[in-house]
Amino acid sequence: MTGFVPHTDTDIEGMLADLGLGSVDELFAVVPAALRLAGGLDLPAGRSEADTLEHLGALAGRNRADLVCFAGAGAYDHDIPAVVRHLALRSEFVTAYTPYQPEVAQGVLQALFEYQTLLARLTGMEVANASLYDGATATVEAVNLAVAAIGRPSVWLSQGVHPSWRAVVHTFAAGTGHDVVEVPLGPAGVTAWPAGVGEGSAPAAVVVQQPNHLGRLEDVGAAVALARTHGALSVVAADPVSAGLLRTPGELGADIAVGEGQPFGTALSFGGPYLGLFASRLEHVRRLPGRLVGETVDVDGRRAYVTTLRTREQDIRREKASSNVCTNQTLIAVAFAVHLAWLGTTGLRELALRCARGTRYAREALLAIDGVEPLGDGPVLREFAVRTPVPAATLVERMVEEGFLAGVPLEPEYDPDGRGLLVAVTERRTAAEIDRYAATFEKVVR
Amino acid sequence: MSGHEGQGGPVSGHEGQGGPVSGHEGQGGPVSGHEGQGGPVSGRNGRMRAHDGGPQPGPAAGGRATSAPIVGRAEEPTIFELSSPGRRAWSLRATGVPDWPAEELVPAEHLRPEPVEVAELSERDLVGHMTRLTHRQYSVDLGAYPLGSCTMKYNPKLCDEASALPGFTRVHPAAPEAVAQGWLGLLGELEGALCAITGMHAATLQPPAGASGELTGLLLMRAWHTERGNPRSKVVIPDSAHGTNPASVTLGGYETVTVPSDERGCVDLAALREVLDEEVAGIMLTNPNTLGLFEEDIVEIAAAVHEVGGLLYYDGANLNAILGVTRPGDMGFDIVHMNLHKTFAVPHGGGGPGAGPVAVSERLAPYLPGPRSVRDDSGAWRWETPARSIGRVHGWHGNALALVRAYAYIVACGGDGLRRVAEAAVLNANWIRHRLRGHYDVPYDRPCMHECVVAAQTLKRDRGVRALDVAKRLLDEGFHSPTVYFPLIVPEALMIEPTETESPETLAALAEAFIRIAEEAGEADAEAPRGTPVRRVDEARAARRLIPTFDARPPA
Ligand SMILES: Cc1ncc(COP(=O)(O)O)c(C=O)c1O
């Protein structure tokens, strides 16, 4: 195939002639002969567009995209308005890169400035960066910031934080040498913070998720107060949809807010590309990871935007940089901003409210089933956990046959018998669907 | 591209698309090719072209965005200024769920009294706003974007189509394996293809970008050495390395040791030997390096590093030059990261998302992040976490839809098309270097790979025009600028990566623009750009009087 190369043979001959070369192979004379790939790549020959799409379509067809989704655990099935696809996927946004030349990148820069403003408002913070990879890696960056700011290696991480996010924190701690201490949940499904430091050292960061992995509303104020007692920074992993109803981390005194931005503008997409949300108080701006857009003026005094405080970043600070992030998730941030702007002030609250109503409706229906018990009893918003009479994985399998993705089985740490199931209900789920779901649930656990 | 098999014999054209004598169907002639490009005289649509010599700029050469300028000259208010109380775009589906009030659902201590102030816009106003923003934005789809080290090539639209298939977008990442066989299969196949391209054994697709891939690679190094009794303390990088390399080294818990480049622009082998010892965990190399040069001593470098028990890390952010030509695995590398958003047609999204898979040799495979998609004897795909895995590096399975794009691109190109990519990328870069010689400094004037680095040192000395000024002038010429001031070892660097998807005519127009800028260089260049939506931006003021959000604006 062409490899999407426009050159004709005549073009190539002419260009080679200009270079005084006789063949294309001569271009690679600098590659030692022993290293040159003799037989070509061990890959099939190229295919036409139609054939390629047919092949991809066949793969896509082997996924069940039709299941009625009650799964969440950090990836939520919300309706995405048409404007998101039509605006965020305009090729000017899609095919540009990092705005290194602000004079021809005001579109991306202003969209990011608006995104930063929206995120700062959602979290009650003063600054927000231009995006990180996902909720998990945003949490890692928050921990790194706190350790650098406070100068102690210890991190207290609530087990109410998503298990995969915690796993990522542990992975990267192998390099930074942070001492990550997990704090378990109490019987009510919220973090049981220790009264004192005990054997360990005082933390640099106290990390809590709101709502937590079981869907439970945490006492963020308590985590903030604990952090203050130890002179640590408080990090809240906050859900952006719940922000429509809940007090912000900033209002509750938190230092850093992180989160997963997927619910706004991004379909489930098998987990990516998602969006790492990162916002903080102004005093931490010089340690902020990733890019930051600021407003300024051009030489004619017109309003303009530019990436700023660049000396924090890896390309300038190199080994002294506190984060290595370069490519981020800008396009996903633009989609987030478009979705949120479409919802607007009233739509955001309404969306959060509808999620909460559906969740209550579904929770009451499941708890009415014989043998289904609450796991972590107390206030929830868009997600809740139950203990089912059969292993959760089995239940999910059975429900697939009935057209439902019933939820996400919980890790043994939340329920050692493997009967814990996490159920999410978004504004997409109708009462009729929930009724059918509950009836099917009842049938398959019998 | 000449000189390799399977391209359909003596008459060129697209294999398998048009019968024995190819050419685009319905375009007239029985023989060969694209009308107007095949012979000395043009046809109906083509233009005259000299038969000897290389490309000439056409009358409206493709890729020069001045032919369709960025029109957004007027300042665009923010959504917050466009907001008008009571206006709305949203509508939400009817669910039939009882409409309990918020106070009944959320305990008072959690409930916020007022809604978050977002903005209140009609859908029409939102669409107008965002569309006007796009008119203030340069992009690859608009014109040439020779931003070195970033591989801003054209990404075929079929990849967008593939990644938008509902069969991919509507799948929850925690769905059981049995209902996501298409996804697991795609990931498994992509891993295989990337291993074939790099000559490696196994890969993780989790890292969401190059920098994340680098850190993953360094943690693999750490795990490997730790199991052998000593994690070691240092990682060597050349002075031409990308900034993410040293930043990742630090996050990996290592100290950076920098080795100088020699007069050829390659790693100074003698200097490298001097820093190698048993505390060196490994070396991170970019090959071709950031000067666009192939590290000719790579075999000797590999031997020297392996001799002290170190590992070789290949920064494969830019694989464009070596596709089907040579493989990091054959050069002796142990760990390779790839930026799928550069080589494999994942568009850059204004800054991301990308994908930075990491492939490793057999001995490092047990340490890879998990889970990975593997095929069992029955032919079904399932998740498996390697025995001594370093753990997860992403919340889910990486930037999955970006992986779909890359896979679609690899399938469409095939082994033959990928080789062609490398050939054209290297040809274009060398041709630009050749054209600019004599007009700009060419600090390492040797055959280059996918990019070349020229410099404005003489222009600066003689006429006071810096690399930055050249970059800004180029914007007025209707092109995006090259990367400037990188690599750091070249003062006034202009790093040009034309990529393979720019036509010879575009290339010629780009070269002409560069040359005109050099010829006209003078004081007036400090005023450039003039024709862009905004002119030179006051970066110092942005930092000094920080306004990171609309709410931080000083009152008017
Ligand atoms: C040579 C090189 N290495 C590493 C990177 C980092 O990749 P990413 O931006 O995807 O993190 C880049 C690009 O930015 C690069 O050009």
pLDDT, tens digit, for every residue of B253-297? Answer: 999 999 999 999 999 999 999 999 999 999 999 999 999 999 999
- Nearest Cα of chain A lies from the Cα of B439 at a distance, in angstroms, of 17
Whether pTM exceeds 0.90: yes
The two beta strands, B358-360 and B335-338, are antiparallel
**Hey, what's the torsion of the CAs at B218, B219, B224, B228, to 10 degrees?**
100
Task: Report the chain A residue with the minimal C-alpha distance to residue B120.
Answer: A344
Quick one: pLDDT at residue A321? Answer: 86
Q: Which residues of B233-249 are buried (b: 16+ CB within 10 A; e: fewer)?
A: ebbbbbebbbbbbbbbb
> Confidence class of residue B46 from pLDDT cuts 50, 70 and 90?
low
Cα(B215) to centroid(ligand 1), Å: 12
Ligand 1 atom closest to Cα of B149? 16
Quick one: pLDDT at residue B15? Answer: 34
Chain B contact probe: residue of A241, A269, A307, A309 with most B CBs at under 10 A: A269
Average pLDDT over residues B527-555: 95
The pLDDT of residue B16 is above 50: no
Q: Give, for ligand 1, the residue of B151, B242, B488 to mutate: max count of ligand atoms closer than 8 Å to Cβ.
A: B242
Locate CATH 3.90.1150.10 in chain A: 68-77+344-444
The pLDDT of residue B53 is above 70: no
Contacts of A405 in chain B (CB under 8 A): 172, 175, 179
Locate CATH 3.40.640.10 in chain A: 82-339
> Confidence class of residue B139 from pLDDT cuts 50, 70 and 90?
very high
Domains of chain B (ranges, CATH numbers): 1-136 (no CATH), 177-412 (3.40.640.10), 416-541 (3.90.1150.10)
Contacts of A180 in chain B (CB under 8 A): none
Are B252 and B219 in contact by the 8 Å Cβ rule? The answer is yes
Chain A residues 100-119 with a CB less than 8 Å from chain B:
100-108, 110-114, 116-118
Cα end-to-end distance, chain A, whole Å: 57
Nearest residue to B250 (alpha-carbon basis) of B234, B231, B262, B270: B234
Task: Report the chain B residue with the minimal C-alpha distance to residue A91.
Answer: B141
Six-digit token pair at B316? 């494969």
Six-digit token pair at B169? 């977008």
Contacts of A65 in chain B (CB under 8 A): 166-171
Average pLDDT, chain B: 90
Q: Is the CB of B286 under 6 A from ligand 1?
A: yes
pLDDT tens for chain A, 446 residues long, are: 689 999 999 999 999 999 999 999 999 999 999 999 998 999 999 999 999 999 999 999 999 999 999 999 999 999 999 999 999 999 999 999 999 999 999 999 999 999 999 999 999 999 999 999 999 999 999 999 999 999 999 999 999 999 999 999 999 999 999 999 999 999 999 999 998 776 668 999 999 999 999 999 999 999 999 999 999 999 999 999 999 999 999 999 999 999 999 999 999 999 999 999 999 999 999 999 999 999 999 999 999 999 999 888 888 888 888 899 999 999 999 999 999 999 999 999 999 999 999 999 999 999 999 999 999 989 999 999 999 999 999 999 999 999 999 999 999 999 999 999 999 999 999 999 999 999 999 999 98
Six-digit token pair at B101? 């009030």
Q: Is the CB of B487 under 6 A from ligand 1?
A: no
Q: Give, for ligand 1, the residue of B289, B339, B344, B496 to mutate: max count of ligand atoms closer than 8 Å to Cβ.
A: B339
Q: How many CB pairs under 8 A join A and B?
A: 773
Q: What is the CA radius of gyration of chain A?
A: 25
pLDDT digits (tens, 9 = 90+) for B194-205: 999 999 999 999
Distance CA A311, CA A295 (A): 17
Q: Are B197 and A28 a contacting pair at CB < 8 A?
A: no
Residue nearest to atom 7 of ligand 1 (CA): B210
Largest CA distance in chain B: 81
Q: Is the CB of B240 under 6 A from ligand 1?
A: no
Distance CA B500, CA B478 (A): 19
Six-digit token pair at B120? 């209140």
Q: Are B78 and A172 a contacting pair at CB < 8 A?
A: no
The vertex-A80 CA angle with B136 and A329, nearest 5°, equals 50
Q: Are B90 and A356 a contacting pair at CB < 8 A?
A: no
Ligand 1 atom closest to Cα of A325? 11
Q: Which residues pair with B203 in a beta bridge?
A: B359
Q: Is the CB of B211 under 6 A from ligand 1?
A: yes
Quick one: pLDDT at residue B38? Answer: 35
Distances (CA, A) of B45 to A131, A265, B30, B51: 46, 43, 17, 17
Chain B contact probe: residue of A108, A216, A324 with most B CBs at under 10 A: A324
Residue nearest to atom 12 of ligand 1 (CA): B317
pLDDT digits (tens, 9 = 90+) for B305-334: 999 999 999 999 999 999 999 999 999 999
Residue nearest to atom 15 of ligand 1 (CA): B317
Task: Report the chain B residue with the minimal C-alpha distance to residue A403.
Answer: B179
The pLDDT of residue B52 is above 80: no
- A393-402, B9-18, B174-183 — which is least confidently predicted? B9-18
Are A118 and A130 in contact by the 8 Å Cβ rule? The answer is no
Contacts of A250 in chain B (CB under 8 A): none
Q: Is the CB of B355 under 6 A from ligand 1?
A: no
Q: Please name the CATH architecture into which domain A82-339 falls.
A: 3-Layer(aba) Sandwich (3.40)
Q: What fold characterizes domain A68-77+344-444?
A: Aspartate Aminotransferase, domain 1 (3.90.1150)
Q: Is the CB of B244 under 6 A from ligand 1?
A: yes
Cα(A291) to centroid(ligand 1), Å: 15
Distances (CA, A) of B263 to B236, B239, B241, B489: 19, 13, 16, 11
Q: Is the CB of A296 under 6 A from ligand 1?
A: no
Helix residue spans in B65-139 (DSSP H): 79-82, 102-105, 123-134
> Confidence class of residue B555 from pLDDT cuts 50, 70 and 90?
confident
